[in-house]
Amino acid sequence: MSTDTGLDVTLVRNATVLATVGGTTFLVDPLFAEQGATPPIDDTPNDRRNPLVPMPDVDTSHDAVIVTHRHPDHWDEPARETLDDDVPLFCQPEEADAFVDEGFTDVRPVEETASFDGVTLRRTPGRHGHGELAERMGPVSGFVLDGDETLYVAGDTVWYEPVAETLAEFDPDAVLLNGGAARFNQGEPITMGVDDVAAVREATDATVAVVHMEAINHCLLSREELRAETADVLVPEDGERIEF
């Protein structure tokens, strides 16, 4: 856990990050499974077992947990078994009962806003894909973490008007996007691709970083491709710390 008052993010793997705002560290979307421990996501262009890569050697100490949504690449059985039952756990209201059923005793569903240790959490909308597919993917959320500085964790969403509205309303210092252009065999990507990231970059003066890359079998956009096709965007490696 950090003791400084700045803003930094450490990418663990996939969408699992340690976001430190004003000295308070949030573990976001913990995926703790060992490399290859879970089956591939079905109906996707390859059948590699997940996660595709091992956990990096990162200290995952934290003050609280945020789960943007309960898809298995954002919340898995090893995370459930590893985390303390009494950790403050922030989530979507629709999913709070599931965490309680798993034995967590300090579940804090966020309707609109919550506060923790000097940080204000604001839940923001997301759209996990396009059209009917997005409806089938279920509810997803992002979170704005507002302390001495402001971080927008967009979650599993594509670029659409509410993302632009969130950027305009909160004017964050840093934005964390889930990239990878995850997709199934039919339909458009369900997480951000090159055009989505470029649209965010155009819409804000904030530092923009992209995670959710090269860890799950249906994420087809590589870091190398994203770096080549965008400008002024950070694409960290697993285990890398970004100080904003």
pLDDT in tens, 66-110: 999 999 999 999 999 999 999 999 999 999 999 999 999 999 999
pLDDT in tens, 216-230: 999 999 999 999 999
Beta bridge partners of 46: none
Confidence of residue 134 (pLDDT cuts 50, 70, 90): confident
What confidence score (pLDDT) does residue 136 get? 86
Query: Using CB atoms within 10 A of its CB, is residue 121 exposed (0-12), middle (13-18) or buried (19+)?
Result: buried
The three state secondary structure string of the chain is CCCCCCEEEEEEECCEEEEEECCEEEEECCCCCCCCCECCCCCCCCCCCECCCCCCCCCCCCCEEECCCCCCCCCCHHHHHHCCCCCCEEECHHHHHHHHHCCCCCEEECCCEEEECCEEEEEEECCCCCHHHHHHCCCCEEEEEECCCEEEECCCCCCCHHHHHHHHHHCCCEEEEECCCCCCCCCCCCCCCHHHHHHHHHHCCCEEEEECCCCCCCCCCCHHHHHHHCCCCECCCCCCEEEC
Contact 114, 134 (CB under 8 A): no
Beta bridge partners of 152: 144, 175
pTM: predicted TM-score of the whole model, two decimal places: 0.96
pLDDT in tens, 19-44: 999 999 999 999 999 999 999 999 99
What confidence score (pLDDT) does residue 4 get? 53
Rounded to the nearest integer, the mean pLDDT of the chain is 96
Kindly tell me if the per-residue pLDDT of 6 is higher than 90: no
Among 148, 113, 107, CA closest to 2: 148
Exposed e or buried b for every residue in 133-159, given b needs 16+ CB within 10 A? bbeebebbbbbbbbbebbbbbbbbbbb
Among 179, 224, 225, 223, CA closest to 201: 179
What confidence score (pLDDT) does residue 2 get? 40
Architecture of domain 7-236: 4-Layer Sandwich (3.60)
What confidence score (pLDDT) does residue 226 get? 98
Contact 212, 52 (CB under 8 A): no
Would you list the domain boundaries of the chain?
A: 7-236
Q: Report the C-alpha gap between 124 and 113 in whole angstroms.
A: 9
What confidence score (pLDDT) does residue 135 get? 87
Contact 208, 175 (CB under 8 A): yes
What confidence score (pLDDT) does residue 3 get? 43
Q: Report the C-alpha gap between 223 and 225 in whole angstroms.
A: 5
What confidence score (pLDDT) does residue 8 get? 97
